[in-house]
């Protein structure tokens, strides 16, 4: 049965990198129907809406969304972020941002980290109240939000056979909200072990040595500022990181810097019904149309989408093709001379 993907190119270099990702997907023998939709500043200039109802209709009908980038106007006071609105529409609570060495210029050779970020509460969905002296931002962290994102990170680590999940927080200062997040993380880690042991007991397997039979990731935690330092000094100590919204947004860019920059950074935002996939970089209007944008993040986002849609084998093929292409040439942000379409052609040829 065909899967349906809503494609939203967006602004700036968004259409260029999404075209590259679609070229790669077209090189695969897949049964995917595309719903092409619009959003962003250029859409507003054409249609009078940043996120038209027709686009929301396409998103609601899709199994997944492939998204480019948006130019957010800074001088529009009542502007509502398109990407935040889409995440809310999908209840895409889990933002996953992997950082991996594919052979690009990498400050930490062999690095393979996944950052899991809560996506629907915290600072980016906080009420702001302005008065004569300033602005008060009311951040909210809930038990439900903390439970589902920490469980998602633990389950992801288990599925990918990763060894450790580290919870990042500032519970030493934010002694109620961040402390809640940390406490729930350990509760979910404990619950995962209890469920594993109950499952083993149900099928008659001995619990002695169960951890070696069905390994589960270890759970630990670290203060956010120390984690930022350790990512610079010794990033290989980390495996899966889980944290709150604003913290994760900042640290994911630091992690991307370790593996060559935002041009190599894919992401997926997962909800109970559908998921949204996008390169982490912005719309970069200063280089739009110049054929210099790095499409790797968009192509790897498409690979994440394939795995979500049940095409894990094809996702691995795309990742291998990216690695092969990077061995032949790179775009200018990675010290190479290839244009967007030239690098994309290398990936397609590698497939």
Active site residue 249: yes
CB atoms within 10 A of CB 310: 11
Catalytic residue among 11, 63, 178, 249: 249
User: Are 287 and 17 contacting, i.e. CB atoms less than 8 angstroms apart?
Assistant: no
Catalytic residue among 23, 112, 239, 253: 253
φ, ψ (nearest 5 deg) of residue 335: 85, 10
Active site residue 23: no
Catalytic residue among 170, 178, 221, 308: 170
User: 140-152 as b/e, with b when 16 or more CB fall inside 10 Å?
Assistant: ebbeebbbbbbbb
User: Are 115 and 75 contacting, i.e. CB atoms less than 8 angstroms apart?
Assistant: no
The per-residue DSSP string of 271-297 comes to -SS-EEEEESS---GGGTTTT----HH
At 223, list the tokens. 């203060």
Active site residue 253: yes
The per-residue DSSP string of 124-157 comes to GG-EEEEETTEEEEE----HHHHHHHHHHHHHHH
Catalytic residue among 19, 34, 112, 124: 124
Q: Which residues pair with 6 in a beta bridge?
A: 35, 65
Measure the CA–CA gap between 230 and 220, rounded to whole angstroms: 15
Measure the CA–CA gap between 36 and 58, rounded to whole angstroms: 8
Catalytic residue among 26, 33, 220, 225: 225
At 70, list the tokens. 């948006």
In angstroms, the Cα distances linking 191 to 47, 63, 146, 178, 198 are 49, 30, 14, 20, 10
Distance from the first to the final alpha carbon of the chain: 24
Active site residue 221: no
Measure the CA–CA gap between 307 and 167, rounded to whole angstroms: 25
User: Are 274 and 63 contacting, i.e. CB atoms less than 8 angstroms apart?
Assistant: yes
What residues are labeled active site? 124, 170, 225, 249, 253
């Amino acid at each position: 049965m065909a899967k349906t993907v809503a494609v939203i190119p967006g602004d700036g270099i968004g259409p260029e990198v999404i075209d590259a990702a679609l070229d790669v997907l077209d090189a695969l023998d897949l049964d995917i129907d595309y719903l092409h939709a619009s959003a962003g500043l250029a859409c507003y200039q054409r249609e009078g809406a940043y996120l038209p109802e027709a686009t929301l209709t396409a998103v609601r009908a899709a199994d997944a969304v492939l998204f480019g980038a948006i130019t957010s106007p800074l001088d529009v006071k009542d502007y509502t972020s398109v990407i935040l609105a889409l995440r809310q529409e999908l209840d895409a609570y889990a933002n996953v941002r992997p950082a991996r060495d594919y052979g690009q210029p990498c400050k930490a050779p062999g690095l393979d980290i996944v950052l899991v970020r809560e996506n629907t509460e915290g600072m980016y969905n906080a009420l702001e109240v302005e008065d004569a002296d300033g602005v008060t931002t009311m951040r909210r962290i809930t038990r439900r939000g903390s439970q589902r994102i920490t469980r998602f990170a633990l389950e992801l680590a288990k599925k990918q056979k990763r060894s450790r999940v580290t919870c990042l927080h500032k519970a030493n200062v934010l002694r109620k909200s961040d402390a809640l997040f940390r406490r729930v993380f350990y509760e979910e880690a404990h619950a995962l072990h209890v469920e594993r042991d109950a499952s083993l007991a149900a099928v008659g397997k001995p619990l002695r040595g169960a951890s070696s039979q069905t390994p589960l990731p270890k759970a630990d935690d670290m203060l956010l500022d120390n984690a930022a330092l350790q990512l610079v000094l010794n990033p290989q100590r980390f495996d899966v990181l889980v944290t709150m919204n604003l913290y994760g947004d900042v640290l994911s860019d630091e992690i991307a810097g370790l593996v060559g920059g935002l041009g190599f950074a894919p992401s997926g935002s997962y909800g109970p019904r559908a998921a949204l996939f996008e390169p982490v970089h912005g719309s970069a209007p200063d280089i739009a149309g110049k054929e210099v944008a790095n499409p790797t993040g968009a192509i790897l986002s498409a690979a994440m989408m394939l795995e979500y849609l049940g095409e894990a084998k094809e996702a691995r093929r795309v990742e291998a093709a990216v690695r092969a292409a990077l061995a032949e040439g790179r775009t200018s942000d990675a010290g190479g001379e290839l244009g967007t379409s030239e690098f994309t052609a290398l990936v397609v040829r590698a497939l």
